[in-house]
Amino acid sequence: MTFQVLRLLLLPASIALLHSCTPSTSAAPRDGDAQAIAQDAQALVERVNAEARVRGRESAAAAWVAATYINDDTQLLAAKNQERDLGYRAGVLAEVRRFTGAKLDEGTRRALDTMLNGNTVLPPARAEEQAELTQLSTKLEAHYGSAKACTDPNKPETCRDLLALSKVLAESRDPAALRQAWVDWHDTASVQRTPFARLAELMNSGAREYGFKDTGELWRSGYDMSAQDLALETERLWSQVQPLYSSLQCYVRKRLNEHYGDTEVPETGPIPGHVLGNMWQQDWSAVYPLVEPYAGVASLDVNGGLKKANWDAARLTRSAEGFYTSLGMPSLPASFWTKSMLTRPADREVQCHASAWDMDMQGDVRIKMCIELDEDNLRTIYHELGHVYYYLAYHGQQPLFQTGAHDGFHEAIGDTVLLSLTPGYLAQIGLIDAPRQSEEALINTQLKLALEKIAFLPFGKLIDQWRWGVFDGSIKPEHYNAAWWELKRRYQGVMPPVARDESAFDPAAKYHVPANTPYTRYFLAHILQFQFHRELCRAAGHTGPLHTCSIYDSKAAGEKFWAMLQRGASQPWQQTMKEFSGSERMDGDAIIEYFAPLSAWLEKENAGQRCGW
C-alpha cells in the first residue's frame, strides 16, 4: 500500500460532518440545579445523536458529489453545505461550553468532550469568516484534485496530472525525467501558499474561540491525553524506530549511489527526493528492483501476477473483501458495489485520491478510488476496506461514538490486514509463485516491506510537526518552504532534487495539506498495526516468528478483531487497547520484533558505511 492514499473521514468528527444538527430550540442549560444541568446535558447529547444521521447524510452527499464530479457547481454546493454545518456547530458547541466543569455521568461527559476535542476545524465567531473558511477549504482541495503540469496550457495533450507524473517517478530510471516530473508536480502547488496561510489564520481564530491556544493544540486534543503529552508520545515512539529507519536509509542510499553515481546521489548525507520512486518519498517500494538484496530470489512480482490473472478493479476489490469475510466478518452490502467509484470516469474530473466513505452511519459505505492493476493498488484497496469494516462494526454505537478509538486506530485496521498479505497468502490467491524458503528470500521479502512501512515513519511524523509550527506561529508564511525541507532533512534524510526557495510551496504538493487532513494518525497507525498484528497472531495460535504469520481464515483472530472494532470511540482508547492486548500503551517493540531478521542483516551490510545525514 502507499500512503499517497487515505480515507476522507466522513464521520461525526470531520470538517463536513462534525456533530451537525439542527439549531436548538430547547431552553439554555439551567444554572444552580446540578440534577437539572445533568438532564440538560443529556438532552443535548440525545438531540445531537438523533439529528446527526440526517444532517450527516446530506453533508456526505454534498462532499461525495464534489469529489466525484469536480466542477464549479459541485464545489459551490459543498462549500455552502460546509458553511451551514459550521453555523450549526457554532450553536451546538456554544451549548457544550455551558457544561464545562459540570458533574455528569461518564457517558454524557465523554459525548460532550467528543463534540469539542479532536476536531479538524472549529468555527470562527463571525459568519463571514465561516463562509470564507469553507470556501478556501473547498478551493484548496479542488485545485489539488484538478491540478496538471502543462508544457503548453493551450494544448491539453502536453498536460500531465499526478497519476502520470507519479508513474514516471515509479518506473523511469532516467534522472532527468525523474527530476522534471518531481519539479512539475511540486510547482503546481505554488499558488496554494496565500490561500493556505489565510486558512490557517481562520482555523486558529476558531480554535481560540473555544479555548485552544491554536489549531495544533486542537488537533492533539483528541487522544484521551493532553496535547503536550501527545507531542511527547510521538517523539518517544519515533525514538524507538529511528535506528531501524537510519539503517534502511543508509543501505538504500548506497545502492542508489551505485546505480546513479555520485553526481545524482551523494555517497553520504540526504538522498535527493526524485530517485526514491515516490513523489513525497513516503514509500520507496518502487525502487525495490534497484536495491534488491538477492537478485531473483523469491518471486515478489505481484504486478506480473495481476496481469497474468487478468483481474479488473472489481476482482481486486472482491479479493480484499474475501480476506475480511474469511475472518468471519460480513460481506459488503450490495449498495457498496453499485455506489462506489472504483475506476476513473472518462467523462469528468474526479478526485482520485483513494478514500473510504460512511454516508449515513447505517450501512451505506463506499470506496472512491481510481484503481490501477498493480500491487500498490491491491494493497490500497485492502487498506481502504479496513475503514469500511470499522464503519460496519461500530454502527451499533451512538453516532457521536461512531469513529475510531482514536484516529490512528482507524488507519491501522487495513494496514494490520496488509501484514497478513505474506508471500504465502499471495501465492494462495494465485498472484505469485509459491515462495522459496531461504534466508535470502526472507531478507528480500522484509526489505521490500520495509521500503513501504519503515520508510514511511518519519514522513508520517513530520507533516503535522510542520503544521503544528504553522499554527503556533513558530513557522511564518515567509519560511514555509525552508521549514518544510529542514524537517524533511532532519527526519527523512531527504533533500529536494533542485534548489527550492520561498516562491515554491512544496508542502501543498501533498494531498493532506490542501485537504486540511491531520496526519499524525498515519504515524500512529504504523505503530499500532504491528501491535494489532502480534495480538491477532497470538489469537490465531501462531507460534513462529511474527513476520511469518497470516491471520487469513482465522475465525478466532477475526472474533477478537471485530470485538475491538465494535467499541468505536465509546471509551478511552487506552481501555480499548487494554481489552485487546493487555496493555494501555502504544509501543514500537512489535515493529522491532517483526523486522528483526532485516535489522541484523542491515547492520552487517552497512558495516564501514557513513550512516546518518
DSSP string, 384-417: HHHHHHHHHHGGGS-GGG-S-SSHHHHHHHHHHH
Return left, alpha or beta for 310; rule: phi > 0 is left, psi -120 to 50 is alpha, else beta: left
Whose grid coordinates read 438532552?
43
Answer whether 185's CB lies under 8 Å from 278's CB: no
Answer whether 417's CB lies under 8 Å from 387's CB: no
Strands 355-358 and 271-272 turn out to be unpaired
Phi, psi (rounded to 5 degrees) for 62: -65, -45
Angle (nearest 5°) at CA 127 between 91 and 223: 55
What pLDDT, on a 0 to 100 scale, did the predictor assign at position 26? 41
What pLDDT, on a 0 to 100 scale, did the predictor assign at position 437? 77
The verdict on domain 235-311+319-328+401-605 having CATH code 1.10.1370 is yes
When computed from its CA atoms, the radius of gyration of the chain, rounded to whole angstroms, is 24
Tell me 613's DSSP state: -
**Residue 417: CA count within 13 A, CB half-sphere:** 35
Whose grid coordinates read 476496506?
385
Tell me 593's DSSP state: H
Angle (nearest 5°) at CA 238 between 236 and 243: 115
What pLDDT, on a 0 to 100 scale, did the predictor assign at position 357? 96
DSSP 181-250: HHHHHHHTTGGGHHHHHHHHHHHHHHHHHTT-SSHHHHHTTSSSS-HHHHHHHHHHHHHHHHHHHHHHHH
| Residue 210, C-alpha cell as written in the block | 473555544
Longest pairwise C-alpha distance within the chain: 76
What pLDDT, on a 0 to 100 scale, did the predictor assign at position 299? 66
Tell me 50's DSSP state: H
Residue 219 identity: W
Strands 159-160 and 271-272 turn out to be unpaired
What's the CA dihedral at 393, 398, 399, 403 to 10 degrees?
A: -40
* Total length of the chain: 613
**Among 390, 188, 414, 433, CA closest to 302:** 433
Answer whether 280's CB lies under 8 Å from 166's CB: no
Return d(Cα 64, Cα 10) in angstroms, integer.
10
Answer whether 559's CB lies under 8 Å from 208's CB: no
| Mean pLDDT, the chain cut into blocks of 10 residues (613 residues total) | 27 30 41 83 94 90 93 90 83 87 92 86 88 92 92 89 95 97 98 97 94 95 93 96 98 98 96 98 96 84 89 95 98 98 92 92 95 91 96 96 94 96 90 84 93 97 98 98 98 98 97 94 96 98 95 98 97 97 95 98 96 94
Q: Which residues, 6 or more positions from 308, have their beta carbon under 8 angstroms from its beta carbon? A: none
Whose grid coordinates read 511474527?
546
**pTM here?**
0.87
What pLDDT, on a 0 to 100 scale, did the predictor assign at position 243? 97
Q: Which residues, 6 or more positions from 295, have their beta carbon under 8 angstroms from its beta carbon? A: none
Strands 355-358 and 365-368 turn out to be antiparallel
Return d(Cα 255, Cα 300) in angstroms, integer.
19
Buried b (16+ CB within 10 A) or exposed e, 98-134: bbeeeebeeebbbbbbbbbbbbbbbbbeeeebbbbbb
Measured in whole angstroms, the distance separating CA 50 from the mean position of its chain's CA atoms is 29
| Residue 514, C-alpha cell as written in the block | 490542501
What pLDDT, on a 0 to 100 scale, did the predictor assign at position 31? 55
| Residue 189, C-alpha cell as written in the block | 502547488
> Helices (DSSP H) in 69-126: which residue ranges?
72-97, 106-116
Q: Quick one: 151 exposed, middle or buried, by C-beta within 10 A (0-12, 13-18, 19+)?
A: exposed
Q: Quick one: 490 exposed, middle or buried, by C-beta within 10 A (0-12, 13-18, 19+)?
A: middle
What pLDDT, on a 0 to 100 scale, did the predictor assign at position 101? 86
What pLDDT, on a 0 to 100 scale, did the predictor assign at position 434? 80
Q: Quick one: 604 exposed, middle or buried, by C-beta within 10 A (0-12, 13-18, 19+)?
A: exposed
Return d(Cα 350, Cα 9) in angstroms, integer.
18
Angle (nearest 5°) at CA 580 between 579 and 581: 100
What pLDDT, on a 0 to 100 scale, did the predictor assign at position 303? 87
Answer whether 304's CB lies under 8 Å from 373's CB: no
Residue 478 identity: E
**Residue 571: CA count within 13 A, CB half-sphere:** 11
Rounded to 10°, the helix 520-539/555-567 angle is 140
**Among 324, 388, 381, CA closest to 359:** 388
**Residue 283: CA count within 13 A, CB half-sphere:** 21
Q: Which residues pair with 159 in a beta bridge?
A: 150
Q: Which residues pair with 150 in a beta bridge?
A: 159
Return d(Cα 488, Cα 496) in angstroms, integer.
9
Return d(Cα 613, Cα 604) in angstroms, integer.
19
Q: Which residues, 6 or more positions from 109, have their beta carbon under 8 angstroms from its beta carbon? A: none
Return d(Cα 30, Cα 267) in angstroms, integer.
70
User: What are the boundaries of each domain within the chain?
Assistant: 34-217, 235-311+319-328+401-605
